[in-house]
């Protein structure tokens, strides 16, 4: 599996189509990206949060906050559309959704996860609904919940692979 470690060469502080890809992946290939916290690696211990409340990192130009690892170039699968971001981790799968209000983001992520379970894991609609509705291995994660301008909430609907019938 290809892996990209954190380094100044791969971390970007803007999302820009002009950035060259840091990685190219083939169809079906797995890869891992090491990411950085929103304060560019400043949070290493619990005590760091109190020390960094003055947001010193925002005084840099450009700001050194919210680094992005990437971009990653990958070929599309002909004839298949993936209408949402999917994360396939070692122990779980996650469907991401961005929306406002928060309830809408949760609903979208959950519906998308159920669609993924029926399309790629062979679950019936009833099985997918039950996996999401009553399974203790199903979780909703809120990744972004800042009330800033028109920024949407980012939510992940996650289920552990051990719960899936054909994983």
| CATH of residue 126 | 3.10.28.20
Provide the residue range defining the domain that includes 140.
Answer: 86-163
Q: Are strands 72-74 and 23-25 parallel, antiparallel or unpaired?
A: parallel
Kindly state whether residues 102 and 145 are assigned to the same domain.
yes
- The verdict on 96 and 61 lying in the same domain is no
Alpha-carbon distances of 161 from 50, 88, 94, rounded to whole Å = 37, 9, 10
Task: Examine residue 101 and state whether it is found in any structural domain, yes or no.
Answer: yes
List per-residue pLDDT tens for the chain, 167 residues long. Answer: 888 887 777 877 776 778 888 888 887 788 888 776 666 666 666 566 556 555 554 455 555 556 677 788 887 777 777 778 888 888 999 999 999 999 999 999 999 999 999 998 999 999 999 999 999 999 999 987 777 677 788 999 999 999 998 76
Judgement on whether residues 112 and 143 belong to the same structural domain of the protein: yes
Domain boundary among 17, 48, 74: 74
- Do 58 and 120 lie in a common domain? no
Q: Decide if 24 is inside a domain.
A: yes
Pairwise CA distance, residues 85 & 165, whole Å: 22
pLDDT in tens, 78-99: 777 777 888 888 899 999 999 9
Q: Is the pTM of this model over 0.75?
A: no
Is 105 found in the same domain as 40?
Answer: no
CA–CA dist 89, 16 (Å, integer): 26
| DSSP code at position 16 | -
Tell me, yes or no, whether 35 lies in a domain.
Answer: yes
Q: pLDDT value at position 39?
A: 62
């Amino acid at each position: 599996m290809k892996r990209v470690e954190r380094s100044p060469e791969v971390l970007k502080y803007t999302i820009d189509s002009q950035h060259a890809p840091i990685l190219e992946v083939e169809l079906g290939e797995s890869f891992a990206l090491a990411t950085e916290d929103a304060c560019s690696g400043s949070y290493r211990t619990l005590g760091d949060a109190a020390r960094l409340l003055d947001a010193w990192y925002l005084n840099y130009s450009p700001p050194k906050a919210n680094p992005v690892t990437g971009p990653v170039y990958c070929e599309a699968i002909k004839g298949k559309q993936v209408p949402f971001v999917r994360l396939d981790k070692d122990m779980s799968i996650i469907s991401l959704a961005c929306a406002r209000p928060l309830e809408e983001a949760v609903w979208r992520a959950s519906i998308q996860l159920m669609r993924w379970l029926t399309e790629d894991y062979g679950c019936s609609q009833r099985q997918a609904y039950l996996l999401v509705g009553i399974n203790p291995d199903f979780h909703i994660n809120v990744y972004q919940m800042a009330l800033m301008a028109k920024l949407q909430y980012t939510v992940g609907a996650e289920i552990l692979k051990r719960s899936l019938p054909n994983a």
